[in-house]
């Protein structure tokens, strides 16, 4: 596939009054600036609304504060792509075009390990992230980088799951610029109401196990909604 990596950011907006400004900044300024970079294939961000937060199956202390997940899909050569990605970030900082009321609790590049599309969609697995969707369901596991998920393909049988990609930590690709650690991230793209799919997917998420008895610890599992520009009222005071 053209996409070889996903760069994730699990982000908290630290000032409750800054959600609208954060979303305006990211969708109208920061995100569009990434796409001209040669190694950036695509990027999108999703929101854990109050209802999505209530539907989380797992949310440990490290990731519990987050309200957003961003994923930039990247191509090889990854070292060059990451250098350009961070150089652009530094330049936007210099121009005072970076949002200050945010904290990333998990960031870093993860290699694409598996990709599946639900047969009913009639699209290729490589096309899943580009298909319109209503949200995603995300799981995060602390695990050795080479431990695959054993049921990610089966998740496409869940009604409302259009496709599933699994990402894993890249051995040898480390930096003080991110906090990927040794983790696996599974993303299910949803074409039904994320809250409804969360209920359907829960038995499949709780029953998963690693092959060969290798251990992992699930630190996050929950739904997110797709963000529509200018519709940023989820956290407005009543």
Q: How far apart are CA 69 and CA 158, in angstroms?
A: 22
Instruction: Answer whether 223's CB lies under 8 Å from 198's CB.
Output: yes
Q: How far apart are CA 173 and CA 166, in angstroms?
A: 18
Mean pLDDT of the chain: 91
Give tens-digit pLDDT for 65-102.
999 999 999 999 999 999 999 999 999 999 999 999 99
Q: State the DSSP H helix or E strand holding residue 33, giving kind and residue range, or none if neither.
A: helix 31-34
| pTM, full prediction | 0.93
Q: How far apart are CA 159 and CA 150, in angstroms?
A: 19
Confidence of residue 131 (pLDDT cuts 50, 70, 90): very high
3-state secondary structure of 225: strand
Close Cβ partners of 154 (under 8 Å, ≥ 6 residues apart): 204
Give tens-digit pLDDT for 135-174.
999 999 987 545 555 567 899 999 999 999 999 987 766 6
Secondary structure (DSSP) of 154-205 = GGGGSTTEEEEEEEEE-TT---TT----SEEEEEEEESS-HHHHHHHHHHHH
- Longest CA pairwise span in the chain (Å): 51
Indicate the fold that domain 5-226 takes in CATH. Answer: Alpha-Beta Plaits (3.30.70)
Give tens-digit pLDDT for 14-28.
999 999 999 999 999
Close Cβ partners of 186 (under 8 Å, ≥ 6 residues apart): 138, 139, 141, 149, 152, 155, 164, 165, 166, 167
């Amino acid at each position: 596939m053209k996409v070889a990596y996903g760069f994730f950011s699990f982000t908290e907006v630290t000032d409750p009054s800054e959600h609208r400004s954060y979303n305006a900044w990211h969708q109208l300024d920061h995100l569009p600036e990434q796409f001209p970079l040669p190694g950036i294939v695509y990027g999108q961000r999703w929101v854990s609304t109050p209802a999505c937060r209530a539907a989380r199956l797992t949310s440990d202390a490290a990731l519990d504060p987050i309200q957003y997940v961003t994923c930039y899909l990247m191509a090889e050569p990854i070292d060059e792509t990451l250098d350009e990605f961070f150089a652009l970030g530094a330049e936007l900082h210099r121009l005072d075009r970076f949002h200050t009321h945010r904290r990333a609790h998990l960031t870093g590049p993860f290699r694409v390990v598996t990709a599946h599309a639900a047969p009913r969609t009639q699209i290729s697995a490589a096309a899943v992230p580009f298909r319109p969707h209503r949200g995603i369901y995300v799981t995060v596991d602390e695990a050795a980088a080479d431990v695959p998920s054993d049921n990610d393909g089966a998740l496409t049988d869940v009604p409302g799951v259009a496709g599933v990609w699994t990402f894993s930590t890249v051995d040898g690709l480390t930096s003080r610029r991110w906090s990927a650690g040794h983790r696996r991230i599974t993303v299910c793209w949803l074409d039904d109401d994320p809250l409804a799919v969360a209920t359907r997917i829960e038995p499949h998420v709780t029953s998963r196990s690693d092959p060969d008895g290798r251990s992992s610890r699930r630190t996050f599992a929950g739904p997110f909604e797709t963000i529509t520009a200018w519709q940023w009222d989820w956290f407005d005071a009543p």
